Structure 1
């Protein structure tokens, strides 16, 4: 379902991509899973390929089962990057900067608070990781998880104010292990901020939500990253 179609139709169950439903939250079409009565919310912020990714929605459902109200907003506003698109990422990103995602996240967070949510965690994948780290720098959220981050640098780590977990891939040109270890060193210099950094061996950038179902190692590693993410939120939000 495209963003335009979402706007034309009322929220409906979307069993093809998960057990949740589509709602507008903070002005953005969003996939929502879990009890509206939960006081604990999790934002899952997608990579450049958008919020409709089936594995991302399955992950939202898994997190919701742990008692969280989970929201996956369409920060790309119905215009995700198309796989194998001839347009270079550097061109596409001009109109889809993580800085805009950060601004768009603020009304989503306010909308959640207006529903009675008292604590919010956020996990970002690739592109979404930069949005999450910006939220963590200004304490709009209470816990952060970055999975195979892009556009994130060491200076971001120096400014983080909330507990943060970084889950990286061994094979990753955007955030190679050397850079992730620099993130860890910067966070270690901030004892007031709880931090957890882990590099997953044998996996590539995007493995947490774009793994091959036929690849046993990839599936196992993705599930391990999901458990690490969920454990971080349970530690710092419950």
Structure 2
């Protein structure tokens, strides 16, 4: 299930350094590691704004630079992401204001519905999951045959990263991924999606998230704590943050900027830890 928080936040400034290419049949943004060989491959499954969202491309660059990873950001949505226009519409709709602001709310509601309904139709899990799974299988069969692979999924992509962490698919006896990270995931089935996790998974959770509220955070932590030591995951709650903070944090706020950077480092450290344990 989703909420307005899934479609709120800010667009970041910066110039992505990676390349746009065709990768295993999908358009993709690729960030190269500063040095060869790469320590592993990280594949980002994006939030609602898709592979062209500048914030995610900058994040891909940061992962590559900090971890010496090869990072892929594919178009799993087949050209149907949510428009960044909703980042303007949401605060207009849920905020206060004077008479003119209230009179304009029907317009902003219409715009939100116009963008969000097609997004959910085109990008429902059952339709996109085969595309995601196929891409990971192809990477494992090819350039990832002898390299560790990690997934980083955000909001919409969080569901896919957690399902990949169930470890139900493999290629030549190798799992599709060796480690998973998810920031403020949405659309999870509780508790089953968490209970099925078999691949080490790191959660970055927002302290003020309507999608994964405190009760569900406690459930995630309880299930993780009971996992076997060799595959035990981790969770970190970022106090004072809302849904989307890993990708769409308002960098005017020092605290939110710090939380986004810490979550970034959390992901990099997690991948480095488990990539070092992987040998193919």
Q: Which runs of 5+ in 1 are unaligned?
A: 1-15
Separation of aligned partners in 2, 1:58 and 1:88: 24
| Secondary structure at 1:197 match in 2 | strand
Which moves more between the two structures, 83-92 or 27-36? Answer: 83-92
Residue aligning to 1:45: 45
Separation of aligned partners in 2, 1:167 and 1:116: 26
State yes or no: 1:115 paired with 2:146. Answer: no
Q: Which runs of 5+ in 2 are unaligned?
A: 1-13, 90-111, 169-174
TM-score, normalization by structure 2: 0.74
Over residues 44-92 of structure 1, what are the superposed CA-to-partner deviations in whole Å (9 max), with x where a residue is unaligned? 1111111112121111111111211100111111111122422374663
TM-score, normalization by structure 1: 0.87
What is the aligned length?
A: 223
| Post-superposition offset of 1:158 | 0.9
Q: Which has the higher helix share?
A: 2
Residue aligning to 2:68: 67
**Equivalent residues in 2 for 1:90-109 (5 A)?**
92-109=119-136
Match of 1:216 among 247, 250, 254: 254
Over residues 9-56 of structure 1, what are the superposed CA-to-partner deviations in whole Å (9 max), with x where a residue is unaligned? xxxxxxx74100011222211110114853610011111111112121
Question: Higher RCO, 1 or 2 (CA under 8 Å, sep at least 6)?
Answer: 2
Over residues 161-206 of structure 1, what are the superposed CA-to-partner deviations in whole Å (9 max), with x where a residue is unaligned? 1001111101111111221210111222222422101110001100
Residue aligning to 2:56: 56
Separation of aligned partners in 1, 2:15 and 2:139: 23
